[in-house]
């Protein structure tokens, strides 16, 4: 078991650490925006499209319960973090929104694919595609509406706009298009698969390296609010997923994949989104850094647990 954990986590941590060191040691600003654009608009969508298009139709129905699990796993910590930030730590609405989405949305896009592939192989690709899609569909509107309301705009009126903007994102369109191809029973031409794969295959390394760059750019101030965020993300989420897969009787390996996805550390989506609204939250940045560091232990513990159930 220790051998399997090492082979799954060491490359993941090494790639992220390389990005972190590159960001810390660089004497000039790193092209983080360009790297993230390459990842989110091209490499990851290409990879997700190919993976989902190659799935068998029979395997799609089994993933419906996964959607329920992932949605609850994101919404519950999000709501708890939002309430605590507003009424216990007295953060303003914009900062509370950034923190809540940081806690509620694991880093599916950057960590999910390389981690689950290392543990479960290519059979986990559809699970990752669904997780990335659900993260975008659930959390993008949640972030946008609260940030707009913080600027005294009508958040409710923006719900339709938020959903429309979500469903035109390449990272959402690509897996949905792949699912349509899979449901139609069509097979992608080998030449198209190979062409998309040239860029899509860069996803894992690029995603982890860019995560390290983002971590290097975050301010750090460890306080009670950041520690609560790490607890919700790294402990509560996987335990909640464990309870849900038991209640819904998800079969293996889908149950294990759902739990491992839920144990992935915080993502940087909301921090980058918040910056576009002029919102900087040191607590969210600290939560992101500590969650990523602590994940070396919590992910290993989750994998040990999965080996026993």
Q: Which domains does the chain possess?
A: 2-306 (1.20.1530.20)
Report whether 53 contacts 181 (CB < 8 A): yes
Written as six digits, the tokens of 69 are: 């699990």
pLDDT, tens digit, 9 for 90 and up, residues 116-130: 887 888 778 788 888
Give the model's pLDDT for residue 142: 77
Q: What are phi and psi of 266, to 5 degrees?
A: -55, 150
Q: Is the pLDDT of residue 302 over 80?
A: yes
Region 61-77 average pLDDT: 88
The length of the chain, given as a count of residues: 309
Region 221-245 average pLDDT: 92
| Lowest-pLDDT range of 135-144, 158-167, 175-184, 276-285 | 158-167
Give the model's pLDDT for residue 160: 66
217-220, long-range: CB within 8 Å, 24+ apart, which pairs? 217/23, 217/30, 217/32, 218/271, 218/285, 218/286, 218/288, 218/289, 219/280, 219/282, 219/285, 219/286, 220/282, 220/285, 220/286, 220/289
Region 55-66 average pLDDT: 74
Q: Is the pLDDT of residue 227 over 90?
A: yes
Place 154 in a pLDDT band, splitting at 50, 70 and 90. Answer: low
Higher pLDDT, 61 or 243: 243
Place 236 in a pLDDT band, splitting at 50, 70 and 90. Answer: very high
Written as six digits, the tokens of 18 are: 């390389």
Residue with tokens 């993941």: 12
Give the model's pLDDT for residue 83: 93
Residues 6+ apart with CB under 8 A from 154: 148
Taking CA atoms, 15 is separated from 6, 23, 41, 75, 189, in Å, by 14, 13, 21, 29, 32
Give the model's pLDDT for residue 138: 80
The total of other beta-carbon atoms located within 10 Å of residue 79's CB is 13
Instruction: Give percent above pLDDT 70 in the chain.
Output: 88
Place 309 in a pLDDT band, splitting at 50, 70 and 90. Answer: low
Helix axes 125-150, 64-87, angle to 10 degrees: 30
End-to-end CA distance of the chain: 13
Give the model's pLDDT for residue 3: 62
Give the model's pLDDT for residue 230: 93
Taking CA atoms, 134 is separated from 60, 138, 246, in Å, by 15, 6, 21
Instruction: Report pTM.
Output: 0.79
Place 152 in a pLDDT band, splitting at 50, 70 and 90. Answer: low
pLDDT, tens digit, 9 for 90 and up, residues 246-282: 999 888 888 999 999 999 998 877 777 676 677 777 7
Place 153 in a pLDDT band, splitting at 50, 70 and 90. Answer: low
Q: Is the pLDDT of residue 53 over 60?
A: yes
Residue with tokens 């860019």: 210
Backbone CA torsion sign across 271, 273, 276, 279 = negative
Report whether 16 contacts 209 (CB < 8 A): yes
Give the model's pLDDT for residue 202: 83
Average pLDDT, the chain: 82
């Amino acid at each position: 078991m220790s051998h399997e954990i090492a082979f799954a986590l060491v490359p993941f941590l090494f790639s992220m650490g390389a990005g972190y060191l590159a960001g810390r040691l660089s004497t000039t600003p790193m092209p983080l925006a360009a790297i993230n654009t390459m990842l989110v608009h091209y490499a990851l969508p290409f990879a997700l499209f190919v993976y989902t298009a190659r799935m068998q139709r029979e395997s799609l129905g089994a993933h419906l319960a996964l959607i329920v699990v992932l949605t609850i796993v994101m919404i519950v910590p999000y709501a708890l973090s939002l309430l605590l930030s507003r009424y216990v730590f007295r953060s303003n609405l914009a900062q509370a929104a950034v923190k809540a989405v940081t806690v509620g949305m694991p880093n599916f896009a950057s960590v999910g694919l390389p981690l689950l592939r290392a543990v479960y192989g290519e059979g986990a690709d559809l699970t990752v595609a669904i997780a990335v899609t659900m993260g975008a569909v659930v959390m993008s509107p949640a972030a946008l509406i609260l940030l707009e309301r913080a600027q005294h705009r009508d958040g409710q009126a923006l719900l339709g706009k938020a959903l429309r903007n979500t469903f035109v994102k390449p990272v959402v369109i690509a897996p949905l298009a792949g699912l349509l191809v899979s449901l139609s029973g069509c097979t992608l031409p080998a030449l198209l698969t190979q062409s998309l794969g040239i860029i899509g295959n860069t996803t894992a390394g690029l995603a982890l390296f860019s995560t390290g760059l983002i971590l290097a750019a975050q301010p750090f101030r460890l306080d009670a609010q950041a520690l609560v965020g790490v607890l919700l993300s790294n402990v509560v989420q996987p335990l909640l997923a464990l309870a849900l897969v038991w209640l819904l009787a998800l079969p293996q390996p889908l149950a294990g994949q759902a739990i491992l996805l839920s144990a992935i550390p915080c993502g940087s989506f909301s921090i980058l989104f918040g910056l576009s609204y002029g919102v900087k939250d040191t607590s969210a940045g600290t939560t992101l850094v500590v969650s990523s560091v602590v994940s070396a232990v919590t992910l290993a513990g989750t994998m040990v647990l999965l080996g026993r159930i």
